[in-house]
């Protein structure tokens, strides 16, 4: 494989900058509660998913020479990356649904909707849906994860 020095430089500069800003966003959402009615669970989990995905991507790029000979490790890393990026999309969808409910019921979210959208329920959805998609993908096409390239 030929190494592209510009791409390597961008990975070494831009991904860590993104990690810093994901960390700052995570700290902001975790430490600053503007209103007790505001649910930051989706935002926090979105930041965690994307932070871990970008960190794994950066570490994979840095240690590619050590990872490449081990096909199983390459397969596991690509499956975990798939899961983390999918969970980021699911958390964005959950945040959009929460925002829709908030805007639709500007006065007060009813207690029934509040119970149905508890933090635990959101976490189950936010991580189970991507896990099912990755499991089905692995089940249908196991050689699709990790390759010689």
- Residue by residue, pLDDT tens for the chain (149 residues) are 556 777 778 878 888 898 999 999 888 888 877 666 567 888 889 999 999 999 998 888 777 777 777 777 888 888 899 999 999 999 999 999 888 887 777 665 454 445 457 888 889 999 999 999 999 998 998 787 766 65
Question: 88: which 2 tokens?
Answer: 């980021």
pLDDT at 49: 94
Rounded Cα distance, 25 and 62, in Å: 25
Q: What is the pLDDT of residue 80?
A: 92
Match 């030929």 to its residue by tokens. Answer: 2
Pseudo-torsion of CA 115, 119, 121, 122, nearest 10°? 120
DSSP 142: G
Q: What are phi and psi of 33, to 5 degrees?
A: -105, 105
Contact between residue 47 and residue 27 where contact means Cβ atoms under 8 Å apart: no
pLDDT computed for residue 131 by the predictor: 95
17, 78, 110, 129, 140 from 132: Cα distances, Å: 31, 15, 31, 5, 12
Residue 115's pLDDT is what?
A: 47
Supply the pLDDT for residue 116. 52
* pTM of the full structure: 0.79
Angle at which helix 5-31 crosses helix 41-62, to 10 degrees, equals 150
């Amino acid at each position: 494989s030929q190494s592209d020095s510009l791409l390597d430089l961008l990975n070494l500069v831009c991904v860590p900058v993104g990690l810093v800003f994901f960390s700052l966003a995570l700290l902001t959402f975790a430490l600053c509660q503007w209103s007790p009615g505001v649910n930051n669970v989706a935002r926090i989990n979105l930041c965690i998913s994307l932070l871990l995905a970008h960190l794994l991507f950066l570490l994979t790029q840095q240690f590619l020479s050590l990872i490449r000979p081990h096909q199983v490790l390459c397969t596991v890393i690509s499956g975990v990356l798939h899961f983390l990026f999918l969970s980021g999309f699911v958390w964005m969808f959950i945040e959009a649904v929460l925002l829709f409910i908030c805007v639709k019921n500007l006065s007060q979210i009813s207690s029934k909707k509040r119970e149905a959208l508890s933090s635990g329920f959101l976490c189950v959805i936010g991580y189970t849906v991507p896990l099912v998609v990755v499991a089905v993908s692995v089940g249908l096409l196991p050689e699709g994860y990790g390759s010689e390239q």
